[in-house]
Structure 1
Amino acid sequence: MASEHVSAANNPCSASDGGTASIGARVGAATLSLCLALSALTPAAWAYNVRLRDVENPAMQNGVRAATQRRWDDAERFFQIVLQQEPDSASAYSNLGNVHLSEGRPEVAVADFSRAIALAPEAPVPYLNRALAEEQLGVNAATSGNQAQAEQHYRAALRDCRDAQARDAKEFAAFFNEGNVQVRVGAYDAALAAYSRAADLAPGIAGYRLRQAELLFQNARAADADTMMRGVVRKNPNFAEAQAALAAVEWVSGQQGKAEEHFDKAVNLDPRWSKMAFIRQQTRWPPALYDAMEKFLAIAASG
């Protein structure tokens, strides 16, 4: 029997980012996706084809629906019911982990994902979701000033990403998640390679290609970044983050008129893109791009 699984992996199933929202959403508020489904016995290659109507357990169906509606208490209750009925359900543990992660309880989520991994060691999704939880624990440790502990969690997250990749070489979210963590640790060449792989595996996801372009800029390939970002906004004109990032790249490249045009488009989509605090909160940009945007906003404000 196939079990529907809710993945916390940054909505990798959507055709594009859908507009103004950044597809690299904050780790602690993981986006839920129904298309990465698996069970303890379902091979990873089948995971992409499982549909909610194929799920036989009503409690699992109800849990998935509650989770996608962000009704975390209800979702947790239904997944616990599944575990009472099927104590060895890897999907139930993994879905429960997603709920706990979305509630801001990454320590509990890690334990849930670890149980799922023990029950289904060849399934990739619990590894990539545990990576999200480990990354959040790293962020929490870094915020509290414990950099050594943060690095320990980041290393654990990278191991999980690579374990997911080893189990399914087409698991694009695992490469995307790896890129996020590599940015955290300042390994920008590795981040670019991971994002590039994710974007190649999932060419319909505009946010993946944008992240690749952002790392091209970080790695001193501004012309390549400009070209790639232009392609993203041409296909996704309502992608506000892409418009804003392109404005910063064009400004430092001496294309002031084009920069102002793309910046105006970003702000028209959402005025908050004119605020650096909002940009830092909503994005996962590398340092060079933040620096470029700060300079652009400072000059724009003085003008």
Structure 2
Amino acid sequence: MFSLLPSALFPRLDISKCSGKRSLSANRSYALRPGSYVVDPNHIVETHLRRRLLLTLPFSFDFFSPNKSYSQASIPGAKRAALTPESAPDRRLYDLEDEKLRNAANLLEEALQASSVDKEEALWNKLIDEYGTLEAAWADDVVGRALGNRGNARARQGRFEEALRDYDAAIARCPWSPDPVLNRGVVLEKLGRLDEAIRDYGDVLAAFPSDPAAWNNLGNANAAAGKWRDALDCYDRAAKLAPQFAFAAANRALALFEVGEKEQSIRELRSLLRRYPDFPDARAALTAALWSIGKEADAETNWNRVEDARYKDPAWLRSERRWPPSMIDSLSAFNEVRSVP
């Protein structure tokens, strides 16, 4: 659930670890953009994504082109196209000699490089205060970025209601960008407002049907609502759209296990581990799946390669990584050396 681009509009976030670091963890909802998919499953928490925004001029932003293979009717939760990508500004018309624009860009870069989330938020505040009422062709673009980033910073601190207000303001400023809508959905998920999160992901997909992160996040929201068949379909689309998106593939395998397709789940986990041998999530899941079908020795062999101690904690698996109940039960049975009912 990752990516890194040189000039995206808003970095997307995962707030499962609200630590004040600009990092995403692999266990919740994310955002990806096309380009270089940075998917390192060996670093679940510390993988840095979408870090650079507006670091250089001129501006560039490449949106997903709508994929005609997915109609709006095929998108779970999509009821309207709230996003208007056609309203995106033509950045070629920006005056790159405008001193205020260059100063704003430098301030944005400084905020992204801030050493702490407090300093980062202060710099977003400064940018918004200085340019929020400016009448300039580029003002909505830049201030919208700042609002979206400030929302991310506040979400990482657990200040979710404030983050939601920032995302709302960013969306009003930049109705062409899917990222603040997707990030708002992540926070809504965290607050348990699943219907609203599903609506946001559906809105992104109505405008950008090829966005793998939106499909993955929609899968997460459906899974949280107990709709595992719907979640499976979403993870499947995410994995097909972005084959390097390792956690979409892992989520698909977990969903397969939950709906009773254990053998297929095991095959897909083995396939994933051939590509990423040290992927702890897939390795722990394979341990649980093998134990559930009586392959104790194989389960032990795989478990010996799981170094992340969090996989021993059912509470973490349930609330943070959000594994399906049957997979958590199977791994708990393995750790307690008992059979799966």
When normalised by structure 2's length, the TM-score is 0.71
AA of the residue aligned to 2:40: D
Structure 1 residues 22 and 237: CA distance shift in structure 2, 3 A = farther
Match for residue 286 of structure 1? 324
Per the TM alignment, residue 189 of structure 1 is displaced from its structure 2 partner at its CA by 0.9
Per the TM alignment, residue 121 of structure 1 is displaced from its structure 2 partner at its CA by 1.7
AA of the residue aligned to 1:253: I
For 2:314 and 2:43, how far apart are their aligned partners in 1? Answer: 16
**Contact 1:75–1:99 (CA<8 Å) still a contact in 2?**
yes
* 1:52-63 pair list within 5 angstroms: 56=102, 57-63=105-111
Match for residue 44 of structure 1? 63
For 2:160 and 2:61, how far apart are their aligned partners in 1? Answer: 26
Structure 1 residues 206 and 72: CA distance shift in structure 2, 3 A = same
Match for residue 126 of structure 2? 81
* Residue of 9, 13, 18 corresponding to 1:8: 13
For 1:163 and 1:41, how far apart are their aligned partners in 2? Answer: 23
Match for residue 44 of structure 2? 21
More displaced 10-residue stretch of structure 1: 275-284 or 188-197: 275-284
Deviations 1:177-225 (A, max 9, x none): 1111111110111111111111112211211110110001011111110
Match for residue 122 of structure 1? 176
For 2:309 and 2:190, how far apart are their aligned partners in 1? Answer: 28
**Contact 2:64–2:211 (CA<8 Å) still a contact in 1?**
no
* 1:255-266 pair list within 5 angstroms: 255-266=295-306
Match for residue 232 of structure 2? 192
Q: Which has the larger radius of gyration?
A: 2
For 1:78 and 1:45, how far apart are their aligned partners in 2? Answer: 30
* Residue of 202, 211, 216 corresponding to 1:176: 216
Match for residue 22 of structure 2? none
**Contact 1:3–1:91 (CA<8 Å) still a contact in 2?**
no
AA of the residue aligned to 1:33: R
Does residue 215 of structure 1 match 2:255?
yes
Does residue 65 of structure 1 match 2:113?
yes
Does residue 94 of structure 1 match 2:148?
yes
For 1:127 and 1:175, how far apart are their aligned partners in 2? Answer: 13
Deviations 1:264-301 (A, max 9, x none): 111xx234434434544552211111111111111179
**What SS does the corresponding residue of 1:299 show, helix, strand or coil?**
coil
AA of the residue aligned to 1:248: A
Match for residue 144 of structure 1? none
Match for residue 33 of structure 1? 50
Cα root mean square deviation, aligned = 3.0
* Residue of 250, 258, 273 corresponding to 2:311: 273
Structure 1 residues 107 and 218: CA distance shift in structure 2, 3 A = same
Greater per-residue helix proportion: 1
**Contact 1:107–1:137 (CA<8 Å) still a contact in 2?**
no
AA of the residue aligned to 2:10: H
4+ runs deviating over 4 angstroms: 40-43
Structure 1 residues 86 and 280: CA distance shift in structure 2, 3 A = same
**Structure 1 unaligned regions, length at least 5:** 26-30, 48-53, 139-152
Between the two structures, name the one with larger relative contact order (CA 8 Å, sep ≥ 6): 2
**Contact 1:22–1:241 (CA<8 Å) still a contact in 2?**
no
Match for residue 203 of structure 1? 243
Match for residue 294 of structure 2? 254
AA of the residue aligned to 1:293: L
AA of the residue aligned to 1:220: G
Per the TM alignment, residue 254 of structure 1 is displaced from its structure 2 partner at its CA by 2.2
For 1:36 and 1:81, how far apart are their aligned partners in 2? Answer: 17
Deviations 1:2-34 (A, max 9, x none): 7753221536464323315279x9xxxxx6523
When normalised by structure 1's length, the TM-score is 0.79
Per the TM alignment, residue 159 of structure 1 is displaced from its structure 2 partner at its CA by 0.5
Deviations 1:144-184 (A, max 9, x none): xxxxxxxxx11111100111112222221111111111111
**Structure 2 unaligned regions, length at least 5:** 1-6, 15-29, 66-84, 86-95, 133-139
